Amino acid sequence: MRVAFVGLGAMGLPMAKNLARAGFPLTVWNRTAATAASVVELGASAADTPANAAAAADVTLLCLPSSPEVHDILTRPDGVLAGAARGSIVIDCSTIDPQASRGFSALCAEHGVDFLEAPLSGGTIGATNGTLTLMIGGDAAVLERARPALQAVGKNLFHVGGPGAGQTVKLCNQMIFAAQVVAVSEAYTLLGDAGIDAALATEIFSVSTADCTAVRGRVPVAGVQPNAPASNNWKPGFATEWMAKDLHLVEELARSLTRFVPQAALNHQLMRLTMEAGYAKQDLSVLGEVLSSFKR
């Protein structure tokens, strides 16, 4: 199986490296060509256009920031669909609007190309370790054809329905994760003000009903968890700006379904506040530091 990877960002680069290490004939393309060098060192080839990358592949993976960028990479004159062979597969690992994803599926079908959406969970650590969770929307038979490539980048592969279903599950996942981070940020601000030892509180929470992903790895107090962003200058496993983007998509999804998501809307505003404070590129758990700077 020949594989192409388009979009070597914080998630895409380690994913592409794992495909190369797994031995797949791999062609990569990125807007900043120099980024591809570390994958080429592992045996990949670098293409000069997305079309040429896709032309060399049976399966082309995309990992891009937004719907407009996915549309551009697919449809530009030298884009993926200009090079992808009929019967090949495009897999979009971006987190985007479900309706847009359904549109990309239809667009690929017009060109005789199969399409899967496979948004990711696990952050940059999961991408590096090849332990990502993939929430896959599209035809189950197409997934089976693409499974070997996806298993090189992810540990947990879930087929959740047709086009749009994977994106919907991912956005709901983000709602829950953001709520955890906000709650943990607020709680540790109170703990600090009250003079409670943060490490002891974390030990208690980990065996109590407060236990969650944010408690296990994103306590916003330096030194409590050696691998947490707070102990590593807020190096992102998942950047604040990424969560702000995802929560915007959550609100758009809720609006399309005529549903009210007040907590997600508030959490979106808190992420925006954190970005305005200068922390767009830092891990979203830096919210804890931002909140600690406010007093009633």
Catalytic residues: 170
CA dist 26 to 11, 14, 107, Å? 17, 13, 24
Residue linked to tokens 């758990």:
285
Give the Cα separation of 36 and 172 in Å (integer). 32
Phi, psi of 57 (to 5 degrees): -135, 150
Cβ-contact 95, 171 below 8 angstroms: yes
Buried b (16+ CB within 10 A) or exposed e, 167-204: bbbbbebbbebbbbbbbbbbbbbebbeeeeebeebbee
Q: Which residues contact 82 (CB under 8 A, 6 or more apart)?
A: 50, 51, 54, 76
- Which two structure tokens, joined as six digits, stand for 270? 């808190």
Helix (H/G/I), strand (E/B), else coil: 27? strand
